[in-house]
Chain A
Amino acid sequence: MLILQLLVSGIETGALYALTAAGFALIFGATRIFHFAHGATYALAGYAFVLATRLGWAWPAGVLLALVVAIAFGLLLEAAVYRPIQRHHGAFFTVFVAAFGVVIVVQSLIELSFGRAYIAISSPLTRAHEVLPGLYVARVFWLALATAGVIFAVLGGFLARTRAGIGLRALAENPDLLRAFGLSARRLSALAFALGSALAVPGAVLGAMTTGLSPGVGAHVMLISLAASVMGGIGSLRGAALAGLLLGIVENLVVAGLDTQWSEAAGFVALFAFILFRPRGIFGAALVR
């Protein structure tokens, strides 16, 4: 029963990792921008939801506020930070340092506004109940699964069947060709940031209820997103989602046989294994030089 319990915990954690990692992968896949501040988007969305809760707003209004904040932040970064750097042909490292600076500024702003303490939203959704002898499941587990399932289905449909979605997929491959088809690379880049940032919201909102938030939460989120993106195949949305889910499951299952300290390390052992034996990731394409 312990294994089953750990599997349930792992799927819940992994579903949230999958959504957040997919957001990072979508942005990187479409724009080739190493959006290190994706963790800051997660933190801002989470704190926006907390603010709404403190103001006594209903939860849908809180989720809406988190969405608005996340998307606005993503768009602002794209327009005010990344685009000017790209315009001046800034190197990958310039983008990384700029994003890293933004992360620090966001963390400091959150500390100034909400304090440095841990914040969690107490909700009956996170209280586990015994569904089978020895197996405890909280309603947030089903919510996380359903949210991830619906979002990935809708996103998959959008990317596969709409003109904008196909444009997003093509953006990374050949921006010049896009222009020939009358599509704006700039608008598509903004769309990628809006969608990718929005994908951080479910994880942030449910994370605020389950594991809680602290101003530095973005660093952990970014680490997981990055690991999932590498394991899933750089730029592959479904790869990042699957790898995020796997990371959550591995982190939890490892506790059955090893000391708990190995929990997070196990995920990164899996990452190293991928780097060594399948560097292109689960769904990544092999590069031919």
Chain B
Amino acid sequence: MIGGKSMVTRRSWLGGAAGLAAGALMAPSRLRAEDAYILGTLFPMAGPNAEYGTIFTAGAAMALKHVAADKMLSRPLVLRAEDSEGTPQGGAVGMSKLVNVDRAVYVLIGFTGVSKAAAPIGARAKVVLVNGGGVGPDLAGLSPYYWNVIPLVPDEIKVLVPFLMARKLRRIALIYVNDPFGNGLLKSLKGDLTAAGGEIVAADAIAPTDQQFSAIAARIRTLSPDAVYFASYGAQQAEIIKQLRDAGISQQLLTYSGATIPSVRNLPEAEGLILTNQAADWSVDDPITKRFVADWRAAYHTDPTTYNQNYYNAVRLFALLAQQLEKSGKPINGDNLRAALLATRRFPLVGGEGVFDDLCDISMKIVINRYQDGKLVPIG
């Protein structure tokens, strides 16, 4: 028994020492997580739209570095990533985890369907969601805690339609993805085009996973439209372009800002594609833009895209708002962030001064571009 007691005591000591050691090791990281501002990202990180997730995250990551280097905040900013898979289901699950488990105070989000699923969860928890990638018309005023740092597709359509009318491209065939974004775009395009004297001669809805478009191309060819507008995402856009061109569709192809990604840009068949996008002038002289562009070129040996810019701006916006709140001694939460945004409205961001409206949406100039030799060339 004495020997047994001695064994238990030794084990207890050893166990206690191990527990203390583990506790000592764990404590700093727990402390850090509690002290940090948690920024969530809810991007597609796998599947056909994963390309967007990589692009979005890169912009946010660079902003995090700059915020830390400038010591803008008293606490560190920590990123917690959740994969939305680009689907509403993924958005709802990811947002619940970011809110309830990670305790994120500010979440970066993209994609219309994902946003519509996650916004109610953010509104309930009063967690701000900032969109820099989704452009569906419904995203304006989705909730008081849902902000846009990207112009939405109705703004793009408003600029495109007069351009089409001026070029006598009146009869448009539309291929659109059957989801909240695609349906919203159909409504916007149909309304603006009809009002301007044009018409939609065909509206083919596709599933986000479709890969075969030769049948749609055959049908479109029989209708002889003046141009073909497609509204899809990621890899599917390149498939649509290639298959339309392969099927002998020689009409002008049109699309929106979603096509500013490498898989479209690098596709030979995308030459001549006309697309609308927010204006991006990387040669402007303000120090914030210059630093962003210089660091981007140094890191990636290429120019940034507007998606990189938007998510950089989303993180920078948080830093600017949190900085204000820290100075005034207010806690960082959804209500205070929103109040600070609406009180200030104008922020120094990449691309110039960002101005927000009552719905907490940024306003930006839209330009019409054409792909020439793999580069976006403004044409209107």
CA distance A80 to B159 in the complex (A): 59
The answer to whether B51 touches A211, judged by C-beta atoms less than 8 angstroms apart, is no
Please tell me which one of the listed residues A13, A129, A217 contacts residue B214 in the complex, with CB atoms under 8 A apart.
Answer: A13
Convert A254-270 into 0s and 1s, putting 1 for each residue whose CB lies closer than 8 angstroms to a CB of B.
01100111011000000
User: Which of A112-120, A170-178, A237-245 contacts the other chain?
Assistant: A112-120
B210 / chain A contacts, CB cutoff of 8 Å: 263-264
The answer to whether B247 touches A128, judged by C-beta atoms less than 8 angstroms apart, is yes
CA distance A13 to B215 in the complex (A): 10
Q: Given A1-B222, A9-B218, A260-B215 in contact, is the A120-B239 Cβ separation under 8 Å? A: yes
User: Which of A23-31, A130-138, A153-161, A193-201 contacts the other chain?
Assistant: A130-138
CA distance A134 to B217 in the complex (A): 12
Most buried by B among A119, A128, A251: A128
CA distance A12 to B315 in the complex (A): 49
Convert A91-131 into 0s and 1s, putting 1 for each residue whose CB lies closer than 8 angstroms to a CB of B.
00000000000000000000100011111101000111110
B207, CB-defined interface residue at 8 Å: yes
Q: Is the interface of A mostly helix, strand, loop or mixed?
A: mixed
B50 / chain A contacts, CB cutoff of 8 Å: 111, 116
B324, CB-defined interface residue at 8 Å: no
B269, CB-defined interface residue at 8 Å: yes
A210, CB-defined interface residue at 8 Å: yes
A165, CB-defined interface residue at 8 Å: no
Most buried by B among A9, A117, A212, A252: A117
Q: Given A126-B246, A214-B235, A264-B210 in contact, is the A117-B218 Cβ separation under 8 Å? A: no
B54 closest partner in A (C-beta): A116
Min distance, Cβ B90 to any Cβ of chain A, angstroms: 15
| Chain A residues within 8 Å of B, Cβ to Cβ | 1-2, 5-6, 9-10, 12-13, 111, 115-120, 122, 126-130, 134, 136, 138, 210-212, 214, 216-217, 220, 251-252, 255-256, 259-261, 263-264
Q: A122-B242, A128-B247 are in contact. List 8 more A-B contacts (CB 8 A).
A: A118-B235, A126-B242, A217-B211, A220-B209, A252-B215, A255-B215, A255-B218, A256-B219
Please tell me which one of the listed residues B216, B221, B234 contacts residue A260 in the complex, with CB atoms under 8 A apart.
Answer: B216
Please tell me which one of the listed residues A120, A122, A216 contacts residue B48 in the complex, with CB atoms under 8 A apart.
Answer: A216
A255 / chain B contacts, CB cutoff of 8 Å: 215-216, 218-219
Min distance, Cβ A246 to any Cβ of chain B, angstroms: 15
